C-alpha cells in the first residue's frame, strides 16, 4: 500500500477512525499533481520521517516543566532544525489524535492500546525545607513536632496516600501557603515560608533543600515516557525519547 511504499505512516489509527500524521497532511495538500511533482512529494514525505526537523510536541505535568525544558534545550541544540512545543497540562493529551508526539506522565502505567509506554524514573516524594528554615526551626523527629512547623502545599495533591497523611497530620492553620502552581510552591519553600512536598530526585538537584522527615514508602509513584505506535520510530520522536531516557539515567546515577 501507499504507506509501505513511502515508508511512513499517513494516519494515526484509533477507536474513532483516523487522524492524519504530518506526512498525511503533506499528502492531502496536493489534490492533483504531475509526475515530477509527485516524485517531489514522495521525497518530502520520506525526508520528513528520516530527519530530526519540523515541529515536535511534548507534553508533561506542570511540576516537571523546568526539568523537561532543560532536556528540550539539549535536544534543540543537537537538532537546530527542530521546533519544540511544550504543553503543560494535568490531563493526559491524546497522542492518537496528534495532540502531542511524546508524553511524560506520572502515576500508574498508562494503558492506551496504541501507545508505547516505557518506565522513565521512580518517583519518591518527601518533605523538604530550605536549609535556613531547618537551621531556625529544626526537623520533624516525631508526630509532636508536626504542629510547630509551617507548610507549603499544592491545592490538589493527586497521590491519595499523601493527601490522606496530610489530612490526618497537618493542622490546616499551619499551612502558610497554598498554590496550584509548582513554580510558586518551590519559590515559597526556597523563601522559607515552610515545608513543601518534592520528588526526591528534584529536591536533590537543589543543594539548598534539606529533607526534614524520614521518607514514607507509600509516597511512591512512577514517571513514564509515552509515544504513539505510529510515530515511535520517526527520527524526531526517537531522538527526543533517547535523550530523555539518557538524562533520566544520569539523574538516577547522581542520586543513587
Which long-range contacts (C-beta less than 8 Å, at least 24 apart) are formed by 138-142? 139/210, 139/211, 139/212, 139/213, 140/195, 140/212, 140/213
Q: Where are the domains of the chain?
A: 2-120+223-255, 122-221
For helices 65-78 and 182-190, what crossing angle results, to 10°? 110
Asked if the domains at 2-120+223-255 and 122-221 fall in one CATH topology, the answer is: yes
- 149 by Cβ neighbours in 10 Å (0-12 / 13-18 / 19+) ranks as buried
Q: Would the pTM count as exceeding 0.85?
A: no
Architecture of the domain defined by 122-221: 3-Layer(aba) Sandwich (3.40)
pLDDT for res 35: 56
What pLDDT does 21 receive?
73
Nearest to residue 156, comparing CAs of 128, 197, 117? Answer: 197
**CA-wise closest residue to 170 among 182, 183, 152, 157:** 152
- Residue 116's closest CA among 201, 3, 234, 11? 234
Strand spans (E) along 96-164: 102-106, 115-130, 151-154
Residue 72: predicted pLDDT: 97
Q: What is the pLDDT of residue 32?
A: 47
Fold classification of 2-120+223-255 is D-Maltodextrin-Binding Protein; domain 2 (3.40.190)
As a whole number of angstroms, the distance between CA 104 and CA 66 comes to 13
Query: Could you tell me the three cell numbers for 80?
Result: 537546530
Helix (H, G, I), strand (E, B) or coil at 225: strand
pLDDT by 10-residue block (mean), the chain, 256 residues: 61 66 64 51 51 90 92 96 92 87 92 92 95 97 94 90 93 96 95 96 93 95 92 90 96 83
pLDDT for position 90: 85
Residues in Cβ contact with 252 at an 8 Å cutoff, skipping those fewer than 6 apart: 121, 201
Looking at residue 11, what is its pLDDT? Answer: 66
What distance in Å separates the CA atoms of residue 46 and residue 25, rounded to the nearest whole number? 13
Quick one: pLDDT at residue 52?
86
Closest CA to 233 of 1, 23, 15: 23
pLDDT of residue 96: 84
Buried-exposed string 23-38: b where 16+ CB fall within 10 A, e elsewhere:
bbebbeeeeeeeeeee
Reference 45, options 6, 100, 74; nearest CA is 6
Amino acid at each position: 500500500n501507499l504507506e509501505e511504499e513511502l515508508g511512513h505512516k499517513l494516519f494515526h489509527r484509533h477507536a474513532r477512525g483516523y487522524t492524519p500524521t504530518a506526512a498525511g497532511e503533506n499528502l492531502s495538500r496536493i489534490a492533483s499533481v504531475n509526475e515530477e511533482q509527485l516524485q517531489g512529494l514522495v521525497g518530502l514525505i520520506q525526508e520528513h520521517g528520516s530527519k530530526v526537523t519540523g515541529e515536535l510536541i511534548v507534553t508533561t505535568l506542570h511540576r516537571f516543566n523546568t526539568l523537561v525544558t532543560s532536556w528540550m534545550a539539549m535536544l534543540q541544540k543537537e537538532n537546530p532544525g527542530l521546533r519544540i512545543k511544550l504543553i503543560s497540562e494535568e490531563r493526559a493529551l491524546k497522542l492518537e489524535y496528534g495532540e502531542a508526539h511524546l508524553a511524560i506522565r506520572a502515576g500508574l502505567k498508562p494503558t492506551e492500546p496504541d501507545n508505547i509506554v516505557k518506565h522513565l524514573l521512580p518517583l519518591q516524594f518527601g518533605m523538604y525545607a530550605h536549609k535556613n528554615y531547618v537551621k531556625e526551626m529544626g526537623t520533624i523527629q516525631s508526630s509532636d513536632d508536626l504542629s510547630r512547623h509551617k507548610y507549603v502545599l499544592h491545592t490538589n495533591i493527586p497521590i491519595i496516600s499523601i493527601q490522606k497523611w496530610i489530612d490526618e497530620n497537618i493542622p490546616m492553620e499551619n499551612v502558610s501557603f497554598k498554590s496550584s502552581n509548582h513554580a510558586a510552591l518551590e519559590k515559597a519553600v526556597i523563601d522559607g515560608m515552610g515545608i513543601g512536598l518534592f520528588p526526591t530526585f528534584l529536591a536533590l538537584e537543589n543543594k539548598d533543600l534539606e529533607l526534614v522527615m524520614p521518607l514514607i514508602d507509600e509516597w511512591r509513584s512512577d514517571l513514564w515516557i509515552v509515544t504513539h505506535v505510529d510515530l515511535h520510530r520517526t527520527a524526531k520522536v526517537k531522538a527526543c525519547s533517547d535523550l530523555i531516557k539518557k538524562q533520566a539515567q544520569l539523574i538516577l546515577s547522581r542520586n543513587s
